[in-house]
Amino acid sequence: MQTPLTIGSMMVHAEKFFAKKEVISQTHDKLHRLTYSEIGERTRRLMSALGQIGVQKGDRVGTLAWNHHRHLELYFAAPGMNAVLHTINIRLSPEHIIYIINHAEDKVLFIDEDILPLIEKVQDQLTSVEAFVVMTDKEELPESGLTPLYSYEKLLQTGDPAQPFVTDIDENDPAGMCYTSATTGKPKGVVYSHRGIVLHSYALGLADTAAISESDISMPVVPQFHVNAWGTPFACTWFGTTQVMPGPRFTPKRLAEFIDRFKVTITAGVPTIWLGLLRELEQGDYDTSSLRTVLCGGSAAPKGLIQAFEQKLGIPFAHAYGATETTPLATFSRLKSYQQDMTEDEKLNERAKQGSLVPGLEMKVIGNTGEVAWNGEEMGELLLRGPWIADEYYKDDRTAGAFIKGWHHTGDVVTVDEEGNIQIVDRTKDLIKSGGEWISSVELENAIMAHDAVFEASVVAMPDPEWQERPVACVVLHEDFADKVNKRELLDFIRPQFAKWWLPDDILFFDEIPKTSVGKFLKRELREQVKAHFKVEE
Amino acid sequence: MQTPLTIGSMMVHAEKFFAKKEVISQTHDKLHRLTYSEIGERTRRLMSALGQIGVQKGDRVGTLAWNHHRHLELYFAAPGMNAVLHTINIRLSPEHIIYIINHAEDKVLFIDEDILPLIEKVQDQLTSVEAFVVMTDKEELPESGLTPLYSYEKLLQTGDPAQPFVTDIDENDPAGMCYTSATTGKPKGVVYSHRGIVLHSYALGLADTAAISESDISMPVVPQFHVNAWGTPFACTWFGTTQVMPGPRFTPKRLAEFIDRFKVTITAGVPTIWLGLLRELEQGDYDTSSLRTVLCGGSAAPKGLIQAFEQKLGIPFAHAYGATETTPLATFSRLKSYQQDMTEDEKLNERAKQGSLVPGLEMKVIGNTGEVAWNGEEMGELLLRGPWIADEYYKDDRTAGAFIKGWHHTGDVVTVDEEGNIQIVDRTKDLIKSGGEWISSVELENAIMAHDAVFEASVVAMPDPEWQERPVACVVLHEDFADKVNKRELLDFIRPQFAKWWLPDDILFFDEIPKTSVGKFLKRELREQVKAHFKVEE
């Protein structure tokens, strides 16, 4: 009964029981269709080849790649030989990419063709990398200053197609890692264990969460370098799901075409992607009737987006919540059976929340005076614990601030309703503490953004001698409305929804709000700009 | 990331996230409706009370009980305090019950009112039991010679409603145990770990197996003393499923009424039960439209039964396979997405198989010359391994025969088709070895039972000087056909389906075929009778 939970065994299951099912993969040059039988054999060759180029147990195998079948093979080959898959966010700054590769001590880097130039530029600063592998369909290696440089397909040819997956693995051994950007300072590394990823895959297959099934056709839009594309490639392979990998630099048009052409049933990504897809679907003529779930996470989906998908397009939309530290699935939004007779509006409100805890995890929400009441109002920081929740940052002093007595302090401020559904109201560091009470910047932002003239709104805290902090809203207007809406009008618009002391002390108009590499507001920088505006000194 | 998988945490999840959902429970005297909030509190009281009557970590808590809410509370209270739930099959002989209780060294016994007399008779022979608890709705304790005898409800009143579940548990610690009857000798004990039961519960929630969901209304018909009612009470509690417990000595009529009245969506049991329910549903006027799955296991369901449920009644029927040693879910029958355009007949053939391996387990099928080909024809013994597959019998020398190098040798002879679906063709010990080749007794039995005149058929091996063994069929005719059908007619009936050397050498007519306590053919005894008939001596 003590056989370990291992990632290799998931691929073995797919090879045996889903040999004929397919992975459809778009690369730079063409569309590939490979069965799990073929993917399994290629993964075995890859494990064997990794060994030949010197990768050993525990070594980190870095990837700089889009969503495609070769990246999927690496998902299983690295942990399958008891090495560690390290997916690198290619959208980070070169300095951060250098830091991450050196900090993880990656031994080899697998790089997509179009990402080679990025690594060539920083090659001299990499301290641990001993080999580079380019993932390309072309026969010839591209011109490159990287040495030694291997071709992925040539390497595979040298590998043993019957190479076994390593089975004497401690399930707590590291299987993967991923760095998450920090508000200040360098990215922080999170390590995933075999155990965590296998259990997380079970969680994705549950009827009450994503219900990933053999009969699904899954297209992960969330990048494979972003928390393992939310773990879906692992779960989908295990369960024999057809996978459609949209490849490099996809457009909303390609996504829409793939949904139509390959009869995609489930797809996962962030709200920004779905906004783009929505526009494409509204303009074009696509058959999306195969879609049973658009899974949305990463940040909160506006209600309008959910409504547009469900009511205009008839596409079911599901909200989930997680983070790099949580592998990521932590909560999933789903109406309970006894909530089916709520009004459409009530249902939408409920489903726009981040949802309730996935079986297998534990949560606590800690407010000013201990655990908050589950009344949908009291705010507190969300703490998580469980077999796929990290308990440290990899070799990083910042562990002490985010992991306390086994609990991950997420930094997300939430309310919990009486059904156990959480709703994110802020980041701890973005909460505004006014007169000893908390004001949620996110709630103010959502209210302001509901105004037709507003394109974006971000609310930050300004130091205040009397109240400690006061909210100030920063607004970008739609082009058509530039200079046609003023501060008073926006304040009047939101006034009915809030207590008087919640209302922003000022509203400033901006051309643009600074953002992170993953499209989130860079509030720290915005705060500096606002402070400069008011000539505040701290 | 190393938080243990524990049974207590499943109840905590139900208390928090499914507080309002219900368990509907029939006891001797009345129908109870309790929420998970109430069940959780009662379970905490029970843990506290168990401590008061001397139960400590690792102690075995025996139960002799039907399917009801108190039995469910014990499912969580015993492992929740790191003791061990030992469910006892009340249908076994008194000698075997005595053996089991003494061998497991049960410290306390929880007994249903109507089962008290059974235990009173054997009390003197119990060597480890220090206390008895009667589960009754009545205020007064029944007259009984058992001492000390406690009332379940009175005990609960003394317990602390806030008693915490023990959390510093090694997930490999024993959580439960169940004895399985052996063909010869005493029953054999199987121990379940916290880890095994939690992982098995995930498996039951997967979209591609039983897909147990919050929105389900589950009625376990398989007894809670039989492999934990196939683990459904654990999974259903964790996922917030409404549970309908049919209570003591239920009839097909009660099952049909409960399905109708409580809108049951999923129910689990053995073919014999479904034959009885089928008759009741055909005679009575019941609304069964809520049923999404009748889960069938324990032994193979005849195709006619599947057809009757699906085609006559419109009730989806699902086949699964497992055993006491496998917690039990090992395989689940489900058509793959690309099999949907098979003919109805082909689908039925496929779905009448035991199905393919549940994610998380490993299997091997070993024939005469190593692993068999997956062609649906080659026969071999099914070997299983995984986190919820036992690796020993509890303190029992027979471990050596059934568990070899970590693999459980199931004793079931199967074929595997190219989709990975297994079909049980025999028990290893019932296979007939004729001239170095194997003949499946089960296939012969099924063919004979398809004849209208045949009520039951069992095929056994007779020693043969030339061929080593030869098959002989034992047949019970339907009353209407007694003496109207002869050997030749039955042989002619099955002749077209088999190679000549497969045909039984003789067909004997019986009034009855001896059976085990769970309704399986007692082939060992039958073989003795046949040998006596032929005056064979070995």
pLDDT tens digit string along B104-126? Answer: 999 999 999 999 999 999 999 99
- What pLDDT score does B347 carry? 93
In chain A, residues 377-436 whose CB comes closer than 8 Å to chain B: 385-391, 406, 419-420
Q: Is the dihedral of CA A437, A441, A442, A448 positive or negative?
A: positive
User: B337: which chain A residues are within 8 Å (Cβ-Cβ)?
Assistant: 214-215, 242
CA-wise closest residue to B189 among B75, B60, B55: B60
Per-residue pLDDT, B69: 98
CATH of domain B434-534: 3.30.300.30
Three-state secondary structure call for residue B32: strand
Best of A1, A201, A408 to mutate (most B CBs within 10 Å, chain B): A1
Residues of A in contact with B240 (CB under 8 A): 336
CB-based burial label for A219 (10 Å; 0-12, 13-18, 19+):
buried
Distance CA B23, CA B38 (A): 10
Considering the entire predicted model, what is its pTM?
0.91
Shortest CA gap A336–chain B (Å): 7
Q: Using CA atoms in the order A446, A451, A455, A459, what is the torsion angle rounded to 10 degrees?
A: -40
Residues of chain B in contact with residue A334, where contact means CB-CB under 8 angstroms, are: 214
d(CA B505, CA B526): 16
Average of per-residue pLDDT across B488-496: 94
Coil, strand or helix at B390: coil
Q: Which amino acid is at A163?
A: Q
Per-residue model confidence (pLDDT) at position B514:
87
Element (H, E) at B384: strand B380-385
Count of CB contacts below 8 A, A vs B? 137
User: Tokens 């809030």 — which residue?
Assistant: A498
Per-residue pLDDT at B83: 98
State residue B388's pLDDT score. 98
Question: What CA dihedral angle connects B226, B229, B231 and B237, to 10 degrees?
Answer: -140
Shortest alpha-carbon distance between residue B132 and chain A (Å): 32
A524 in contact with B, Cβ within 8 Å: no
Provide the token pair at A404: 């306390």
Write out pLDDT tens, residues B188-237. 999 999 999 999 999 999 999 999 999 999 999 999 999 999 999 999 99
Q: Which pLDDT score, from 0 to 100, does residue B283 have?
A: 93
Say if the Cβ atoms of A359 and B2 lie within 8 Å.
Answer: no
Residue B336 with chain A: CB contacts under 8 Å:
18, 214-215, 240
Contact B336 A214 (CB under 8 A): yes
Q: What is the mean pLDDT of chain B?
A: 94
DSSP B131: E
- E-strand spans in A29-171? 31-35, 60-64, 84-87, 106-112, 131-135, 149-151
Active-site annotation holds for A153? no
Answer yes or no: do A386 and B211 touch at CB < 8 A. no
**pLDDT tens, position by position, B62-81:** 999 999 999 999 999 999 99
- The first and second tokens of residue B395, run together, are 């303190």
Beta pairing, strands A217-220 & B217-220 = unpaired
B243 and chain A in contact, CB less than 8 A: no
Write down the pLDDT at residue B415.
96
- pLDDT at position B79 is 98
The residue of chain A with its CA nearest to that of B4 is A387
Minimal CA separation from A451 to chain B, in Å = 35
Tell me the C-alpha distance between B77 and B80, whole Å. 5
Provide the pLDDT for residue A429.
Answer: 82
Contact B509, B477 (CB under 8 A): yes
Contact call for A203 and B208, based on CB within 8 A: no
* pLDDT of amino acid A481: 87
pLDDT (0 to 100) of residue A538: 55
Question: What pLDDT is recorded for position B126?
Answer: 98
Q: According to the model, what pLDDT value does residue B397 have? A: 95
Contacts of residue B357 in chain A, CB cutoff 8 Å? 13, 16-17
Question: With a cut of 0.85, is the ipTM above it?
Answer: yes
The answer for residues whose C-beta is within 8 angstroms of residue B400's C-beta and 6 or more apart is: none
Please confirm, yes or no, whether A438 is among the known catalytic residues.
yes
Structure-derived torsion over alpha carbons of residues A416, A417, A419, A424, reported in degrees to the nearest 10: -50
What is the separation, in whole angstroms, between the first and last Cα of chain B? 60
The residue of chain A nearest to residue B215, with distances taken between CA atoms, is A337
Rounded to whole angstroms, what are the CA distances from A388 to A244, A321, A396? 26, 14, 19
Nearest to B82 by CA among B172, B199, B166: B166
Closest CA to B198 of A387, A172, A420, A405: A387
Q: Does B166 touch chain A (CB under 8 A)?
A: no
Q: Is A13 on the interface with B (CB under 8 A)?
A: yes
Nearest to B337 among A211, A214, A360 (CB): A214
Q: Which amino acid is at A337?
A: S
- Pairwise CA distance, residues B179 & B184, whole Å: 14
- Residue B309: what residue type? F
Contact check, Cβ <8 Å, B359/A205? yes
The model's confidence at residue B518, banded by pLDDT at 50, 70 and 90, is: low
Q: Among A1, A10, A12, whose Cβ lies nearest the Cβ of B196? A: A1
Chain B residues with beta carbon closer than 8 angstroms to that of A169: none
Q: How far is B407 from chain A (nearest CA, A)?
A: 10
| Contact with chain B for residue A341, Cβ under 8 A | no
CB of B94 less than 8 A from some CB of A? no
Q: Where are the domains of chain B?
A: 7-15+26-192, 434-534
Give the residue from A32, A126, A2, A107 showing the smallest Cα distance to A63.
A107
Distance CA B459, CA B464 (A): 15
- Please check the confidence at residue B184 and state whether its pLDDT lies above 80: no
Nearest Cβ partner of B389 from A1, A16, A208? A1
Counting as low any pLDDT under 50, the low residues of chain A are: none
Q: What is the pLDDT of residues B375-400, one digit of tens each?
A: 999 999 999 999 999 999 999 999 99
The CA distances from residue B15 to A372, A383, A436, B22, B285, in Å, are: 17, 19, 33, 11, 37
Catalytic residue among A105, A120, A130, A180: A180
Closest CA to A209 of A97, A403, A421, A359: A359
Cβ B11 vs Cβ B43: under 8 Å: yes
CATH architecture of A7-15+26-192: 3-Layer(aba) Sandwich (3.40)
